[in-house]
Amino acid sequence: MGTITQSIANNLTTGLGGASGINFRNIIINGDMNIAQRGTSTASITTDGYYTVDRFNFEIGGSSVWTQSQASDAPSGQGFTYSLKMDCTTAQASPASNDIILVGQSVEGFNLQTIKQGTSNAQSTTLSFWHKHTKTGTNIVELLDADNSNAVSGSYTQSVSDTWEKATIAFPANTSGTYGNDSNRSLRIRFIMGAGSDYTSGTLATTWQTTVTDANRYVGQVNNADNTANNFSITGVQYEVGTTASEFEFLPYGVKLERCYRYYQKSYAYATAVGTNTTIGIRTTSGSAGGMTTGQLYGDLQFKGNMRTAPTMTTYDKAGNSGVCARLNGGVARTDSQNLSMGDISEKSCSITSTGTANAGAIDVHWQAVSEL
Amino acid sequence: MINTVEKIYSWENNFQNYKVTYNDGKISSVPLDTANTDYQAIQQWIADGGTVIDNPPE
């Protein structure tokens, strides 16, 4: 067998993804926290949302306040550069009974079919990740099946404060309830940071609950919100089929960015926050010199590939005002704060209509498109 | 947090999306797509007693 033929044969055996087999085996997107289109740090967080690292959301109940960042801190020698860091800036000594604080990622059903859940061939799965928490003790990770309202929990331990440690949690197969083969949210993978007694007073459910008992969901969870010295960081998050954790699947940067575009895109340059006063990246509809009007102007916005679903659109004029656009009189003037309406929003594109009154030949507009789960 | 929600119509008088103003001043257009989580949030907001502004073109 020739060298090239042997190489192809080896790849077919081991998988083109490297030593650990199948490409795209990691169901988590951006598990190495490399992509952060929204920015690298957000302070004073008190509400649910997506803040920095793509695809990872934050949910909060209670009175603690947090700063989230894409931190340049990662376990040494593992190939990671960044982590998702939650920094407690206002503490809550003990959670109210119904409080939950977590970071997590939701997965659409299209990306879960390999688990074969709800069939006799349902697969076990394994979640692996690196964690570095100030608070030592037990933390809980939950798989919450959004299609069938099933849930299962697993635990890991931060043994040494503020030290990177690796966790591997195997979850049993679930033969009850299939994941929809669609773009809706089917699975929520949740890293619990704190939880009240409504969720901690029972026995941890390490087998799938088809009727979820809240008291069994986060038993043993420490309160990472009890001190402003506390940080909670994770990286290298991988969720895959099987009973063991394979080596983390590093994908090319461009591939990761494209995968994130399915859920979030913007017209601005990567490192520029939405609402920044800039023309870089601004979408200018076509127009012609002398073709001026104070009436309606039309155009469209095309997305980079298909988004998960028709996205929520937020537009900005050059100055950064939202819900409006600028009208451009090329070479003469750009007028901000002009009315804009959106239409025909689909996963591929949308139309824009400026009904502002400034004499112009084209629309100038920045935009953000969000179709998160 | 949602502050106001308004129905937006096309020039052909078709209801085509919601214009949502949030408490932080951000204004977004939310498509009529049940898979969109902001659309779902609007439906919940309506169910919780929110009133949608509806001024169809004459």
The ipTM assigned to this model is: 0.96
How high is the pLDDT of residue A287?
Answer: 73
How high is the pLDDT of residue A63?
Answer: 96
Percent of chain A exceeding pLDDT 70 equals 94
Residue position matching structure tokens 């997965």: A107
A114 CB neighbour count, 10 Å cutoff: 15
Contact B28 A184 (CB under 8 A): no
Contact A322 B26 (CB under 8 A): yes
pLDDT, tens only, A1-15: 344 444 444 444 344
B27 contact A CB<8A: yes
- Which residues, at least 6 apart from A248, have a Cβ–Cβ distance to it below 8 Å? A26, A31, A32, A78, A79, A80, A128, A236, A238
Flag whether pLDDT at A331 surpasses 90: no
**Among A241, A253, A234, A252, residue whose Cα is nearest residue A20:** A241
The structure's pTM equals 0.93
φ, ψ of residue B56 in degrees (nearest 5) = -65, 150
A212 contact B CB<8A: no
**Among A29, A45, A264, A184, residue whose Cα is nearest residue B40:** A184
* DSSP conformation letters of A174-196: --SSPPPSSSSEEEEEEEEEEE-
DSSP H helices in B1-58 = 37-47
Contact A343 B36 (CB under 8 A): no
What is the spatial distance between Cα A214 and Cα A202, in angstroms, rounded to a whole number? 8
Q: Which chain A residues touch B11 with a CB distance below 8 Å?
A: 353
